[in-house]
Amino acid sequence: MRDVEQKMIERAAALLQNGEVARVVGWKKGEFYFDPAPAVFETVDELKDFVYNGFCGANLSKYLIKVSKNEGKTAIFMKPCDSYSFNQLVKEHRVDREKIYVIAVECQGKLDIEKIKANGVTAVTNVEENGDKVTVSSLYGETVLDKADVMLGKCLTCKGKTHQAKDEDIILHEMPAPANNRFDEVAKLEAMTEDERFAFWKEQLQKCIRCNACRNVCPACSCLKCVFDNPSSGVAAKANDDRFEEQLFHVIRAFHVSGRCTDCGECSRVCPQNIPLHLLNRKFIKDIDGFYGEYQAGETAEGKTPLTSYKEEDLEVSDVFKGEGK
């Protein structure tokens, strides 16, 4: 991974130096090894803080909405999953493709520091990835862990390692994708009874603290005026009363991104309460695939979404629950 990082810094420096781009969006060093943060680099000098390691799970594409409005071209490093979100933003006219230079970067699966800590390792100083193992160095010594045990949830069901948009790439090694089926967990819930499902979701959703992180991070949540901040949405109460959005926040959010959610997994990654939000969005994706034919949001930057199109012979609503034992 170090060689990839080195190459990325070189390319970023070259692009900034020859004036091809005005800024580069990437990740910069955090306080610790495991908390790099998304950042915009405008000079070669600033690149001394640039990092690309196993903790760069953050999807950078949403930052383009803002930074690409500035003068000049913006270069951005993208992992395969980020490129889907990027296409979706281009398709929704939130980002102008012409103003972006996409550098597709290698991804070997990103790590979850919480899972490493859960293995009893604290005071982490460094993490080396070697194939399917990771060596975690801490103030107390070295620990070798199975990578599959400490990867981000989204990486365990990675959609694949093919970038859907790029102008050049930095891919120095093979990128094996995990073989897990991302719909298995949804199917498991579907197989439960209504009562069990309700109990499951109630248990999960009552943990929510309405920090709005899941909304703020989501590349599909890019409305200028979010319905949750909009008193003229038509469903807000006359008196100051937010019960509706409080109680139904998750349903509204998930529906708003249905047909547009690329399953980038960011919502679940950022939720401080570990609510499996991806299981909500994935239900919509699974249903769309099943009812209207397979559709992957963000695969291209053109075309209609399943909810802005129809077929005359579409499934009737009364047939939704037929023969599926739901």
Q: Write out the residues near ligand SF4 by the rule CB under 6 A.
A: 57, 79-81, 107, 109-110, 154-155, 158, 208-214, 217-220, 257, 261-267, 270-273, 275, 277-278, 281
Q: Which of residues 192-231 bind other proteins (CB under 8 A)?
A: 194-202, 205-206, 208, 227
State both tokens at 126.
């460094």
* Distance in angstroms (rounded) separating the CA atoms of residues 155 and 61: 17
Q: Which does 140 bind (CB under 5 to 8 A by kind): other proteins, ligand SF4, none?
A: none
Secondary structure of residue 190 in the 3-state scheme: helix
Q: Is 295 in the site for other proteins (CB under 8 A)?
A: no
Q: Which does 107 bind (CB under 5 to 8 A by kind): ligand SF4, other proteins, none?
A: ligand SF4
Helix-strand-coil split of the chain, %, nearest 5 = 40, 15, 50
- Of positions 251, 272, 274, 304, contacts other proteins by CB under 8 A: 251
> Contact at 8 Å (CB) between 52 and 259?
no
State both tokens at 37.
């943060």
Angle at 178 between CA 109 and CA 119, to 5 degrees: 55
Q: Which does 158 bind (CB under 5 to 8 A by kind): ligand SF4, other proteins, none?
A: ligand SF4
- Check the CA dihedral 129-217-264-325 and report its sign: positive
State both tokens at 193.
């009874």
Q: Which does 78 bind (CB under 5 to 8 A by kind): ligand SF4, other proteins, none?
A: none
Q: How far is the CB of 232 from ligand SF4 (least distance, A)?
A: 23
Alpha-helical (H) ranges within 206-271 are 213-217, 243-256, 266-270
Q: How far is the CB of 73 from ligand SF4 (least distance, A)?
A: 24
Strand partners for 103? 77, 168
> Contact at 8 Å (CB) between 85 and 61?
yes
Q: Which does 292 bind (CB under 5 to 8 A by kind): ligand SF4, other proteins, none?
A: other proteins
Q: Is 185 in the site for other proteins (CB under 8 A)?
A: no
Q: How far is the CB of 305 from ligand SF4 (least distance, A)?
A: 13
Size of the site for other proteins (CB under 8 A): 51
Q: Measured from the CB atom, is 39 or 214 closer to ligand SF4?
A: 214
- Using CB under 8 A, which of the segments 52-60, 99-107, 122-130, 251-259 binds other proteins? 251-259
Q: Which does 320 bind (CB under 5 to 8 A by kind): ligand SF4, other proteins, none?
A: other proteins
Q: Which does 233 bind (CB under 5 to 8 A by kind): ligand SF4, other proteins, none?
A: other proteins
Q: Helix 278-292 vs helix 243-256: angle between axes, to the nearest 10 degrees?
A: 50
Full strand arrangement of the beta sheet holding 168-170: 37-41, 23-28, 74-78, 100-105, 168-170
Q: Is 250 in the site for other proteins (CB under 8 A)?
A: yes
Determine how many CB atoms are found less than 10 A away from the CB of residue 45: 10
Q: Is 131 in the site for other proteins (CB under 8 A)?
A: no
Q: How far is the CB of 197 from other proteins (least distance, A)?
A: 4
Q: Is 14 in the site for other proteins (CB under 8 A)?
A: no
**Distances in whole angstroms, Cα of residue 87 to Cα of each of 78, 131, 143, 155:** 12, 30, 39, 20
Instruction: Tell me which residue of 43, 273, 298 sits closest to 164, measured CA to CA.
Output: 298
- Of positions 247, 272, 274, 304, contacts other proteins by CB under 8 A: 247
- DSSP of 217-235, one letter per residue? H-TT---SS-GGG-TTSS-
Q: Measured from the CB atom, is 41 or 55 closer to ligand SF4?
A: 55
Residues that bind other proteins (CB under 8 A): 189-190, 194-202, 205-206, 208, 227, 233-235, 243-244, 246-252, 254-255, 258, 280, 283-284, 287-288, 291-292, 306-308, 310-312, 314-318, 320-321, 326
